[in-house]
Structure 1
Amino acid sequence: MHTVLIPFDGSASAKRAIQYLIDLSKDFAQIKVHVLNVQTEPVLYGEYVTPDLLDQLHAGALQHAAEINAEATALLGAANVSHETHVATGMVAPEIARVVKEYACDAVVMGTRGMGSLKNLVLGSVATQVVHEVAVPVTLVK
């Protein structure tokens, strides 16, 4: 079985990456897809945040991630592609690398946001970070 991770953020390019995997699954019937949505941790200003509020923010982020993953689940399910969904909070590229190791993924397929070369040079891209952080092939879908 070939195990593939697809980081999914609901963007048009992420949906194209899902379609790429659906098309690929026609040639590889034994493909297993792990869908991951990572929400960044909230940025808090000030020192007066209660633990309950932190828990609520974290739970809300995970709920939002699950809602985004629902679209990927619908697309993959309609195509009868074997898949699991995962949600996480934190920095996106390191979380992707963690999940690749945890689920022994053979490859990563992900959409690109198309920031352009100047923004990419200044800010870096998640895709570039993932390519450097994982030890498996990464396919980028525009």
Structure 2
Amino acid sequence: MKMLLAVDGSACALEAVKFAIALVRDGLQARFVLATVQEPTCVYEMVLAPDAEVLERVTGATGERALEAAEAMLEAASVAFDSEIGSGMPADALVEMVKRFACDAVIIGARGHGVLRSALLGSVSQAVLHASPVPVTIVKPSSS
């Protein structure tokens, strides 16, 4: 089974990584695509960057930092994974990765916003849940 494991460097995303590791420890035979998405650059960033190559390097470095803790956790647990840094609107890019990598499922952390705030602002995990062609597990923040 191949699963997309979406992270953004947040504590909520690391809860999803812990959940994925627990699944493997409980016997799930899975390989993960550890994925993060960098949102499109704004006009301000494009004006300040001396050229497109510099902007691409900065975006890549940000994506690599978002993956670091999750990669360390998966490596320490000896869980197989590939890493992918996408760009664009997060939910759309994650769903595209699901299709491109032929993933069978998605694991993603929830931010833990209240119902009203989530309804007003929207949420990447909710958008992925509705757009994904495969099952999605949303991992809520731990209550500890």
Q: Secondary structure, in 3 states, of the residue corresponding to 2:81?
A: strand
Q: Which stretches of structure 1, 4 residues or more, deviate above 6 A after TM superposition?
A: none
Q: Does 1:80 align with 2:78?
A: yes
Structure 2 unaligned regions, length at least 5: none
Letter in 1 for 2:13: A
1:32 corresponds to: 31
- Check conservation: 1:62, 1:88, Cα contact below 8 A: no
Q: Secondary structure, in 3 states, of the residue corresponding to 1:99?
A: helix
Query: How do 1:35-74 and structure 2 match up within 5 A?
Result: 35-45=34-44, 49=47, 52-74=50-72
Letter in 2 for 1:102: R
Q: 1:139 to 1:29 in 2, by over 3 A?
A: closer
Letter in 1 for 2:54: Q
1:93 corresponds to: 91
- Between the aligned partners of 2:61 and 2:81, the Cα distance in structure 1 is 19
1:134 corresponds to: 132
- Check conservation: 2:15, 2:139, Cα contact below 8 A: yes
With normalisation by structure 1, the TM-score equals: 0.90
Q: 1:50 to 1:119 in 2, by over 3 A?
A: closer
Structure 1 unaligned regions, length at least 5: none
2:109 corresponds to: 111
Question: Shift of the alpha carbon at 1:55?
Answer: 2.9
Percentage of pairs with the same residue: 35
Question: Shift of the alpha carbon at 1:58?
Answer: 2.4
- Check conservation: 1:41, 1:58, Cα contact below 8 A: no
- Between the aligned partners of 1:133 and 1:29, the Cα distance in structure 2 is 25
- Between the aligned partners of 1:71 and 1:81, the Cα distance in structure 2 is 14
With normalisation by structure 2, the TM-score equals: 0.89
1:9 corresponds to: 8
Question: Shift of the alpha carbon at 1:57?
Answer: 1.6
Letter in 2 for 1:42: T
- Check conservation: 1:8, 1:72, Cα contact below 8 A: yes
